[in-house]
Structure formats: structure tokens, C-alpha cells
A and B are shown apart, each in its own frame.
Chain A
Amino acid sequence: MTLTDLTASELAEGIRRKKFSALEVAQDFLERIDRLDRKLGCFYKRRDPLAIAAEAATVDEKIARGENAGLLGGVPVGLKDLFVTEGLETTAGSKILEGWVPVYQGTAVTKLREAGAIVLGKLSMDEFAMGSSNESSAYGPVRNPWDLARVPGGSSGGSAAAVAAGLAAATLGTDTGGSIRQPAALTGTVGLKPTYGRVSRWGVVAFASSLDQVGPFGRTALDCALVLEAIAGHDPRDATSLKAAVPRYAEACKRPIDGLRIGVPREYFAKVDATVGKPVMDAIDEMVKLGAKKIDVELPHTGYAIAAYYIIATAEASSNLARYDGVRYGLRVPSENLQSMYARTRAAGFGAEVKRRIMLGTYALRSGYYDAYYLRAQKVRTLIRRDFEQAFKLCDVLAGPTSPTVAFKLGEKADDPLAMYLSDIFTIPCNLAGLPGISIPCGFHDRLPIGLQLLAPPLGEETLLRAASAYERATDWTRRRPEEPA
């Protein structure tokens, strides 16, 4: 057992009780990254080890003086490269932002650091968070620690793989259509997508503003609870952030699940192979043994979610990404006039998937097509939201698979964008309805992890964490570790 095997909560407690120092912890993680990340490719940009050591030493000094070092005092964390970090390059996985060193820092990162977490670096991701495999990154793919020939999922692939491989104790990702939960499922980690507005989006590069949400990856639900407690809350700089008080999420992890009503949506099992469906159903049955009740529910508009999502998300993205025009930051391709400078800069700076989505979104918003695509998609979004409202009259959480398959091979879906989109079927409806969702490990197929997804009504994060923790205690999936890559 080395320090990099411990969970974030174990590390925070060990540092607080002086069983080991924050400096020792940082040292072990840095050595492990040195040794393994060449094979995995999780980190796009590492922070200066001297800056990391200085912060760790500050945590140790605070503890030596008997002061509070914070909820995550000394815990080494990584950040998806979508988070704007002062003095640390931020690219969003895109060539168009290569070399951008921001002069400000986003709220979630500031709060995480105020809670004592130590940032190790920026993690690789699909370009502008658009992708489900991490292959659309402009800086090379991330490999799945369980099988280096396979993808870690996306778009927060680096954030998921780093936790799975023990290169960071916890990480931050973002989830617009499953970008936290799907990679968590594919890497055997826990990933939590909070309620829309629970965490400030200020200082997070925008993809689709009505869907984007920040959330944690950890090895356990408790680790996610600690990180969420640190980063959640209202932010005057994000008008969509919720004013609701931030509960002690870690406390929720201790509560039993007697009487918890688990809704099982028929539609979430209809088209799933038994290799994934069976372990997920077994997990639900395990929770029934712990005192929960299983209830059949219906989410009849599930089949339309992908179509609605890929219109709404791309429409918002086409607008959000208009700012990358070669004027204020990032790349500029010189040209004889302004219009061609815009068009050439964007042609050179964006990758194929981002261009495809900008085009799709621009098309869906064009006059003449708006009613047929964008407006209709928003109405279907209402129907999907109502499906959930109906289901949650009968149950407290919904349970099903996070992803229809285990991790697929690098390149397997890279040439078929629609096939890639279809793999998001179970994660997308949650974003359209603004709900919180969590993915937790619930088994393996061919030595590849399988994820159980739990969804709750808005601000139901405590219910998710409570259910996830109870299941974790009854099983040993979250204690499994991939072998070190040879």
C-alpha cells in the first residue's frame, strides 16, 4: 500500500492526523505521474513541482500549528483543461487556445484550492468538451488504465483516467451530456454531475450553457461528496448558479437506504446488451437487499433525447464558440481582410468534431430551419423533463446503466460521428432535465469496468451519495485497481 492507493478522504484524514505529511503525499503522486503518465497521457500540462511542494508545505505548517487546513487539506487534484487557471495554460483541448495563459481563475478552482486541495496540473479532454472518447483532443488521446488499447471515455477522459490510475486523488470535470458519468463508468471511478446551477460555471470555458455543469471524480462517493462540498454554492458571477444552501454532503454518505425507492426505467434496459444490463440489475438487487425498494417506471421520450440534445447543445455551442475569432486571444491566421482572417483562423484552430458541431448548430438556428430543429428540440426537452417529473412521483432515485457498452477501442467509432453520439443515450436526458446524476462502478465485463448510473430530482445530490455509498460499502468494486501499465 502506497499513499497513491488511498482515497481523497483517507489522504485528507491522514494528513490532518499527521500519519503522513502533505509533502510526502505530493511527492508520491508526482513520482507516480513521472513513471506512468507517458503511457496514459492524462496530463496535458503539469504544474511546477516547486509550486506544488510549497503549497504542500504550507498545509503541513498549518496542521503543525493546529490550524484548519481545509476539507481537502493536502489532497492532490487535477483539473480538466476546460477550467480557467490563472498563470497556468488553458487550452480546452483546442489548438485555437494553445499557449493561452489566463490572467484570472474560475470560481470552482478557487474554492477547491481554498479547501486545501493542491492542483497537480491540467488534464486532457475532447476539444471544447465535444466527444465521448477523448479522441477529439488536439493534443493526442488518453488511454484507459484498464486496457491501453481502449478509450477512457469523454469528454473528461483525462480526469477519469487520472483517478483510475492513481495519478490524482480526485479531479474536476464537466458534464454537458455525460462527460463526467460516461468516462467514470468506463474507467471504474465515481463521477458526479450535480444539479444544473449547483456549481458556478464562471471561469469554465463554455460549451452549451444551458447544459454545462462542473463536478468531481473520485474513487468513492465520499470523495466526490467532499469535493462537491468544497466547490458548490451560489456565485454572483454566474447568474444561473443556485442560491440553495450547501449541505454537508459527506454526512449523507453515512445514512442507510432503508425504504429508498429505486425506479428502474424500462427504456434504459431495452437496448442494452446483457453483459452490461445484468451487472447493473444485480447492483439494483443488491441495494434492495440493503433495504431499498425496486419500482418499475417509464421514461417514454428517452428515444428522442439524443436528437434533441445534439440540436440544442450544438446551437448553443455555435454561439459560444463565436468568440474564437483571432481578435482577443489565442490563434490568429493573418489574412488580407477581417472576414477571411476570422474564417481562416477558425479553419486552422478548430478540429473536425468542433467544426461539425458549429456547422450543425449554425444550421439548426438558421432562419427557415429554426422552428423545425431548434424550437422543436426545446419542446421535446420539455417532454423529457416531464417524464422525469412523473417518474419521481413514484421513486426517489432512478437506476440504470451509465453507458450501453464497456470502453471501446481507440479508433473504433472515430470515423462515425453519429455512432459516437448514440453512445450517450443514457447520460443525455439527465442534462436536458438539469438533474443530478452519479456513476459508480458495479462490475466488470472482460476485465473492463461497468458503471451504474443513479439520477435524482433537482438538488437530490444527498440521495445519490447516500445510495452510492451504501452500495459501495456492500461491495468491493471501488477498491479494485487496474494493474500498472507495463
Chain B
Amino acid sequence: MAITEDEVRETAQLARLELSDEELHRMTRELDAILGYMQQLADVNVDGVEPTTHAVPLDLPLRADELGPHLEIIQVFRDAPDWRLDGFFRVPKIIETDE
């Protein structure tokens, strides 16, 4: 087994995804097959090889911290499921975290 059902459950929690029992079983089976396939990467000799994060070399340009063209806050709020006119997204009460 490349992955266990417990690991799938923990990963789902990290990903903020609620999975039904049926989904959990199926996900474990599918991820196990996919991760099994990924094991072949262990066969590659990567000693001394630098990782590639971007294929095309990039400089990271800095820009002046100045206000550019932007949307009005009220336009952005209009897309939200719940918000207040005084400029806040409204969310359910944060009772506890699961960390």
C-alpha cells in the first residue's frame, strides 16, 4: 500500500475537503494506484540535480509600491456570498480550529 485510509483522512482535513465514507474508500483506492505509479521516480538518479521550479529562467522584478489601477472594494464584495456594507466579508463564527 502506498497510502492508508488514515493518511487520506488526514490529507482531506488539510485540504479542507469533507469526504463521505464511500468517497474516502474510493479515494484511498485511487490514490494508492496513482501513488504506486509515482514510485518509479525513485528509480531515477537525481544526485546533484537542481530542482526546476520554473522552466523558463525568471528574474523577480521589483516595482514601486504605488497604487495602480484597481477595482472599487464594493465591486469586489458584490461577488461574495455574504458581506457587510462597511467593508467586511461575513463568515460563520470561528469557534475552534482543527489544527
Contacts and interface: CB of A to CB of B under 8 A. Distances in A.
Contact of A356 (B30, B38, B53, B97): B30
Nearest to A103: B75
Contacts of A101: 79
A301 B34 CA distance: 19
B91 A341 contact: yes
A355 B50 contact: no
A332 B54 contact: no
Interface string B59-99: 01101000000010001101111100000010111111110
Contacts, number: 177
A434 B94 CA distance: 43
Contact of A434 (B54, B76, B98): B54
26 contacts: A103-B76, A196-B56, A210-B54, A236-B63, A328-B89, A346-B15, A347-B17, A347-B18, A347-B19, A359-B15, A359-B17, A360-B34, A360-B35, A362-B15, A376-B44, A376-B46, A379-B49, A379-B50, A379-B52, A381-B52, A382-B49, A382-B51, A417-B30, A421-B34, A432-B52, A435-B55
A201 to B, nearest CB: 13
A418 B37 CA distance: 8
A262 interface: no
Nearest to B33: A418
Contact of B80 (A301, A328, A355, A378): A328
Contacts of A380: 41, 44, 46
Interface in A361-414: 362-363, 366, 372-373, 375-383, 385
Nearest to B8: A359
Nearest to B36: A418
Interface string A186-201: 0000000001110000
A328 B17 contact: no
Contact of A242 (B42, B56, B97): B56
Give the residue among B8, B55, B75 with the most A Cβ atoms within 10 A.
B55
Contacts of B14: 362, 366
Main secondary structure of the interface of A (DSSP, over half): helix
Contacts of B7: 363
- By size class, the interface of chain A is 35 or more
Interface residues of B, number: 55
Interface of A: 100-104, 195-197, 210, 236, 239-240, 242, 301, 303-304, 306-308, 310-311, 318, 322, 325-332, 334-344, 346-347, 350, 355-356, 358-360, 362-363, 366, 372-373, 375-383, 385, 417-418, 421, 431-435, 458
B87 to A, nearest CB: 13
B27 A359 contact: yes
Interface in B1-32: 3, 7-8, 11-19, 23, 27, 30-31
Main secondary structure of the interface of B (DSSP, over half): loop
Contact of B71 (A100, A104, A195): A104
Closest 3 CB pairs of A and B: A434-B55, A378-B51, A332-B81
B22 to A, nearest CB: 12
B77 to A, nearest CB: 9
Nearest to A432: B55
Contacts of A359: 8, 11-12, 15, 17, 27, 31
B71 to A, nearest CB: 6
Contacts of A383: 44, 46, 49
A121 B18 CA distance: 34
A336 B41 contact: no
B95 to A, nearest CB: 5
Nearest to A97: B79
